[in-house]
Each structure stands twice: as C-alpha cells, then as structure tokens.
Structure 1
Amino acid sequence: MEKDSKKLPLFFLGDRLEFPPVEAANEDGLLAVGGDLSPERLLLAYKSGIFPWFNEDNLILWWSPNPRMVLFPNKIKISKSMRKVIRTEQFNLTQNTCFEKVLDNCAKVQRKGQDGTWITPKMKLAYLDLFEKGFAKSFEVWEGNNLVGGLYGIDLGHVFCGESMFSTVPNASKFAFIKLTQELEQEKYRLIDCQVHTKHLESLGAEQISREDFMNILQG
C-alpha cells in the first residue's frame, strides 16, 4: 500500500461527519480524501474500520485496506530470545505516563519507503486530544530511567488500534508489543488492528484477514 497513491477515490469529504462504506476503497485501500482531524471524525473512522495516513504536504487520506493485518492476542509469538529478555527484567513497562514523548519518538523513526513522517503536527495534536479524552493510550518501555521504546494506539474497548511504535535499543518495541498483547488477552480484547502487513509484525504472530472478517469483529 502506497501512502501517496495516485489512484484517488471518488470520495472527497466535506464538513459533514461521515465516511463512505469501506467497500468503496480502491485496490490500495484508499477510501477518501479531505475532512478534518477532529476527535469526533477520528473516532468515527476507527470505529468504521478506517484510519488516516498521509504526508504533511498532502490532503488528509483515509484508508481501509483489504486484507487487514491483525493480531489475535492469544496468537502472539514470543521467541526464545525475547523470553530471555523478559526474564532478565532488562525493561520496565508503564502506561500513559508520557504519551507525548512516545508520539515524538514515533515521529522520528525513519521508515523504509517513506519520506518524512505521517505523524504531522496536526496529527500529533489530534492524538493528544484523543489521549486527553481517554481514547488514546501509550505503553512506555524503560531501561533504568531512560525511555527506550514504546507504542501508542486507539482503544475501542474490544479492539486496540495500534498506530506506531519506536525503539532506541534492541527489543524495546517488541517488549512493549508483547506486554500490550498479554494485557489485552487478559482483558478479553478481540484483536489488535495492525493495519498493514510488515515482516516484523508477522514475526510476532500477526496475520492478514479479509476486510469483511475484520469489520465483523470490529462491529460485532
């Protein structure tokens, strides 16, 4: 999926708080363009199986890919090396103690095939607003007193929409993801939405399911 796909959809959002049906997305998963980043629109998007992803110099792009990359919490894969890292207690995990710092670090990550960051200043403000309202969460990984990894996402109560993660030392983001998954399994969450395929996520147990199956779980 290309973030700046030239295959634009027919749907250009205005001020009305609405989205077209996800089945209208093009083959890249691009569904709509425009609108705003208000908390109301963002929550409607996530609850509808849609997420924003765009460069700072682009219009807001809204996506709903098919297939969808997800992780069922009970299918997390923990390698022998990661089990050893967990046992050594090298890292400590906290929740929601420095959401903005996690955002800032995620925005700095250099990602293959991307120019710049999609966590633009406007996007950052939007997620901070959702955090203040209790819908966005962060998981922070500490090595001593140093923040060395973490992730954040949107919590829908039965589905956690993972947005981004970072690591400044080996295994820190994996540690955050594994701990998140274990907690969500205990709380009976249905799945973690990972959005699009990466080999890293696949190595941790994530898999691709059809958009239809994803929507049935999301709205079930």
Structure 2
Amino acid sequence: MSDTIILLPDRVTGFPSLDHALKQPDGLLAIGGNLEVDTLVMAYQKGIFPWFNEGDPILWWSPSPRMVLKPGELKLSRSLRKLLRKNFYQVTFDYDFSAVIAACASTHRDSEGTWITHAMIDAYTALNDAGHAHSIEVWQEDSLVGGLYGVALGRIFFAESMFSKKSNTSKIAMAALSEQLSVWQFQLIDCQVYSDHLDSLGAKLISRTRFLDYLERYCSQTPSCANWKQVWQWNDL
C-alpha cells in the first residue's frame, strides 16, 4: 500500500498495480492520462474507473471492497413487480445512449456536482460508438423518463450512472438490465461503491481481490448476445 498518487503520462500504456491505491480517499490510484477508448477499456479490465469533477485533472479509482450485483438476483419489491406487469413503461436497450448520459449528467449536476463532465460524455459516447458502452431507456410514450448506462466487457457489466424522472423508473432500467444480463450469461454487474439504495436492491460488497478474480476470468469471455439493441419485454414475473 502506497501513500503516493501515481502520475500518468498523456499517452497511457499501462496502469500501476492496485497495491498503490490509497485507503483515504478509498481507492484513489492515479492522476492524469487520457479518456481514449483503449485507455478506458484497459482501465476497466483492471478494475479501475475515472471519476473527477469539472475543471479537475482525470482521477482513476479502484475502491475496496467493491459493490457488485449478480445478474438475475436483483431484489424486486411487490409494488415494482406490479408496476412492471402493467407495462405502463416501455424499455429499450441502446436506442438513445446520448439522451441517457445527458439525463444522468443533468441529474447529478443538480444533486451531486458535475462528475459527468463534457469530457466524460465525449469519452463514453466514443465507447458506445466502439460497442463497449450501452444504455437502457425507460419510456412513457415518447418521453424518456428513466435509464442507465455502463460498460460491457466480456461477461462483466460496469454500471456507471442512472436517472429517474418518474418514480421507480431507474429501478425498472436496472431490473431489465439484471434480467437480460442473466439471459446472456453475464457473471457480474459492478456497482463500484456501497450505498443503502444498492444494498436494498441486493448488491453485495466483495473484496478487491475477489473482484479482480471475476475480471480476469470473465472479461475475455464472449457473452451470448449478438446485438444489444432491442425493445425489451418481461417474460416471467
């Protein structure tokens, strides 16, 4: 364990060992580098992600323990199941990534600061164009009322952010993601850090070592999905 933050060059060829990650703030590993597609893919494969505020340098993190959810094991309340059965909302995958990330940025800008910066939006849009980042949309007629986005590598999904404009619509997006990833034989949804909300949905804390074992085993495996883009339907509630 080091008490020094590693400075990355503009052209990133690798990340430092996670043994260098700080305990306080939890998981801060490195500063600098870039947000190019290859850099982000390399980071996620190693259990590292960027998080920084507007105007700050890029900060790279790998917290321990790690909050994760097993696909298909999301806890659904009785009221949420009832809402889903009504088909009041339509759920799609990869229909409007740009609108989802913009809505997530707006939500966090209002409540938590501006960590989904313009640079982050550009970077994850490029990841989407490259086939690595994906969105789940929840619609009320033609209005986008909820959703989430994240990064898929092999059989691991790294959830990044979600938003709701109507009650429970982010939970609907997460429920759709969890069930579909189970069908596609994904092994883990990375939720990054603990929150009471994630705990209530069934997410669990695991050690960084165990998390890295998942990444080493499953990031290189091909999932059983040919195309993310779809109109999604509940099959068995």
Q: Same fold (TM over 0.5)?
A: yes
Question: Is 1:139–1:176's contact at 8 Å kept on the other side of the alignment?
Answer: yes
Q: What is the CA–CA distance in structure 2 between the aligned matches of 1:37 and 1:30, rounded to whole Å? A: 17
1:75 paired with 2:73, answer yes
- The corresponding residue for 1:154 is 151
Q: What is the CA–CA distance in structure 1 between the aligned matches of 2:111 and 2:142, rounded to whole Å? A: 33
TM-score normalized by the length of structure 2: 0.86
Q: What is the CA–CA distance in structure 2 between the aligned matches of 1:61 and 1:202, rounded to whole Å? A: 26
Q: CA deviation at 1:97?
A: 1.0
1:64 paired with 2:59, answer no
Question: Is 2:72–2:181's contact at 8 Å kept on the other side of the alignment?
Answer: no
The correspondence for 1:30, drawn from 28, 37, 60, is 28
- The corresponding residue for 1:53 is 51
Q: How does 1:195-214 map to 2 (within 5 A)?
A: 195-214=192-211
Q: CA deviation at 1:145?
A: 1.4
Q: CA deviation at 1:111?
A: 7.3
Aligned length: 213
Q: How does 1:1-220 map to 2 (within 5 A)?
A: 9-14=4-9, 15-27=11-23, 28-110=26-108, 114=112, 116-220=113-217
Q: What is the CA–CA distance in structure 1 between the aligned matches of 2:19 and 2:48, rounded to whole Å? A: 11
Question: Is 1:47–1:156's contact at 8 Å kept on the other side of the alignment?
Answer: yes
Q: What is the CA–CA distance in structure 2 between the aligned matches of 1:8 and 1:168, rounded to whole Å? A: 41
Unmatched runs of 5 consecutive residues or more in structure 2: 218-237
Q: CA deviation at 1:75?
A: 2.2
Question: Is 1:9–1:30's contact at 8 Å kept on the other side of the alignment?
Answer: no
Q: What is the CA–CA distance in structure 1 between the aligned matches of 2:108 and 2:6, rounded to whole Å? A: 31
Q: What is the CA–CA distance in structure 2 between the aligned matches of 1:8 and 1:61, rounded to whole Å? A: 15
Q: CA deviation at 1:202?
A: 1.0
Partner SS state of residue 171, structure 2: helix
Q: What is the CA–CA distance in structure 1 between the aligned matches of 2:180 and 2:124, rounded to whole Å? A: 22
Partner SS state of residue 45, structure 1: helix
Q: 1:41 to 1:164 in 2, by over 3 A?
A: same
Q: 1:22-77, CA deviations, whole angstroms, 9 ceiling, x for partnerless residues?
A: 12100111010000111110000001100000001111000000000000113211
Partner SS state of residue 219, structure 1: helix
Partner SS state of residue 74, structure 1: coil
Partner SS state of residue 72, structure 2: helix
Question: Is 2:12–2:39's contact at 8 Å kept on the other side of the alignment?
Answer: no
Question: Is 2:108–2:115's contact at 8 Å kept on the other side of the alignment?
Answer: no
CA RMSD of aligned residues (A): 1.6
Q: 1:173-202, CA deviations, whole angstroms, 9 ceiling, x for partnerless residues?
A: 000000100000111111000001111111
Q: Which amino acid aligns with 1:137?
A: H
